[in-house]
Structure 1
Amino acid sequence: MCLMTFHWAPGSATPLRLAGNRDEFHARATAPLSAWQDLPLCGGRDLEAGGTWLAANRRGVIAALTNVRDTRLKTPDSAPSRGELVAGVLTADDPAEWLKALAGHHAERYAGFNLLVATTRHCWHLHRGYEGVSLSQVAPGVHGLSNASLNTPWPKLEAVRQALAGNEARHWRRHTGHALHDPALAEPALLPDTGVGLALEHQLSAAFIVGEQYGTRATTWLTLNTLGNATLTEQRFGPLGRFLGDTTLTALNERAVP
């Protein structure tokens, strides 16, 4: 993903609510949200590298990924696809131990990334950026991730985060949808400097990027309830923001089924 906001509320009926956009080249082959045939996961899938940006398993765990955009951070030669990280943690026997091992020994193999992992009781954020690798527990509350680190106040991140924080739970999808589908560009004075140049920085400042070659490909909403059941809704878009369809499915926590 390239932009997400989420409400982490452990101990509540809905520990996690998350909404976000995936931006990508329209020519990159992608499978829509579905139950995977080769792994016990539910999510969209990058058919070029085989990974994903957001998925849930059937043990009450979800994971979501954003890239880090910072030209100071060098990508290692032959770096693996960052999309494999989501499937990796969701198929691990112990997500916490898997994250510790990645943070301690293997994260530098990848280009910069943010990996968000949540269960009904825990939420972790693993960041690989210019300053190094960090793994932390996320505090309860409303947060946002884009292509920097957790809660870096880029204009589009602040807009979607406020849309989630400022509205009642029963309206959260509608209000986050309005914010995530906003094509407005940020004021130049408010743009971050990630090293890609002012023109591209300006183009990427929209929450919903409209382009013929590159743009927002999907918007996803996810809820994780106290039983560990994850419900995902994905809307898909083509070149110039053309709506292509939507899918909703639920990954039932097999450990909670009698």
Structure 2
Amino acid sequence: MCLLAFELQNHPNYKLVLMANRDEEYKRPTAPAAFWSDDPTILAGRDLEQLGTWLGINKQGKIAALTNYRDFTLPIKGEKSRGHIVSSFLQSDIAPQTFMEELHANQAQYTGFNVLAGSSEELFYYSNLEQSIKQVTPGIHGLCNALLDTPWPKVEKSKTLLRAYMKQTETVDPEVLFSFMQRAETFPAEQLPDTGVGSELESLLSSIFIASEEYGTRCTTVVTIDKNNDVYFEERTFKNGIFASAQKYVFTIEKPANS
């Protein structure tokens, strides 16, 4: 996962509206979003190399998303796959803040990451670069390959698009959100961060939707949770920058058995 923008608890009809792009090497084997056969409560795509995921939700409304932290001037570290952070949270029964505290205690096992974990009721953010657990405030937020709401151009652009749309709509049209995440224009060099990849690659990676010979946006996901706890989840996959398939799921969050 390399870019997401979302609105949390800031709309009369929706608790959460999220749009996200996952960028990855085209050759990395990936399963499209589905309820997992080995854990049917989890809805997510799946990295078939490590069996983790970058974004998922479960039937009880737990949601999590992960991005890598991109700074090639930092030493490489971490033995565990970062995608297991998301799946571990979705499979756990512990509260999100407790999960983040345990993750913080074990953060050195992973290369640089950002993770959002919680639900549409309360969402938490943690990065093992910043090493500070934060509850996400209501409003519009964006996350790419730096810390939450770091003003990289494509983060700011996706937040601006989402903010303007949510202010003027009562019912979210997923097509609009997908169109936002398809924007392929790059940004001027003077606006871009220096993450140690060189100016040419920095420019390529600056667009919301990325397409190159070997690396790019593999899927776009839209998730909405309304005030009735109805979930809309749609993922569109791409092959070499060209639309390949779509997976759509609609369900109502289940109440815990002891509620």
* TM-score, with length taken from structure 1: 0.92
Residue 235 (str. 1) matches residue 233 (str. 2)? no
Whether the 8 Å contact between 1:5 and 1:164 is mirrored in structure 2 is yes
| Distance (whole Å) between structure 1 residues aligned to residue 230 and residue 140 of structure 2 | 20
| Distance (whole Å) between structure 2 residues aligned to residue 90 and residue 230 of structure 1 | 16
Counterpart mapping for 1:68-79 below 5 A: 68-76=69-77, 79=79
CA-to-partner distance for each residue in 1:139-167, whole Å, 9 max, x for gaps?
10001000001111111111111111001
Shift of 1:12: 5.1
1:60 aligns with: 61
Structure 2: stretches of 5+ with no match in the other structure:
none
Residue 41 (str. 1) matches residue 42 (str. 2)? yes
| Distance (whole Å) between structure 2 residues aligned to residue 203 and residue 10 of structure 1 | 33
Whether the 8 Å contact between 1:61 and 1:117 is mirrored in structure 2 is yes
2:142 aligns with: 144
Q: Which deviates more, 43-52 or 179-188?
A: 179-188
CA-to-partner distance for each residue in 1:166-204, whole Å, 9 max, x for gaps?
013435634432331111111111111111111111110
| Aligned partner letter, 1:81 | S
Aligned partner of residue 235 in structure 1, secondary structure: strand
2:221 aligns with: 220
Aligned partner of residue 199 in structure 1, secondary structure: helix
Aligned partner of residue 133 in structure 1, secondary structure: coil
Shift of 1:213: 1.1
CA-to-partner distance for each residue in 1:47-92, whole Å, 9 max, x for gaps?
0110001000111111011110012332325x11100000111111
| Distance (whole Å) between structure 2 residues aligned to residue 109 and residue 228 of structure 1 | 35
Residue 245 (str. 1) matches residue 239 (str. 2)? no
Residue 205 (str. 1) matches residue 206 (str. 2)? yes
| Distance (whole Å) between structure 1 residues aligned to residue 200 and residue 21 of structure 2 | 21
Counterpart mapping for 1:182-197 below 5 A: 182-197=183-198
Number of equivalences: 253
Identity of aligned residues (%): 37
Whether the 8 Å contact between 1:235 and 1:247 is mirrored in structure 2 is yes
1:161 aligns with: 159
| Distance (whole Å) between structure 2 residues aligned to residue 201 and residue 212 of structure 1 | 15
> CA separation of 1:73/1:33 partners in 2, compared to 1, >3 Å: closer, same or farther?
same
Whether the 8 Å contact between 1:59 and 1:228 is mirrored in structure 2 is no
* TM-score, with length taken from structure 2: 0.91
Whether the 8 Å contact between 2:222 and 2:235 is mirrored in structure 1 is yes
Shift of 1:127: 1.2
| Distance (whole Å) between structure 2 residues aligned to residue 195 and residue 19 of structure 1 | 27
Aligned partner of residue 131 in structure 2, secondary structure: strand
| Distance (whole Å) between structure 1 residues aligned to residue 207 and residue 76 of structure 2 | 25
1:14 aligns with: 14
RMSD: 2.0
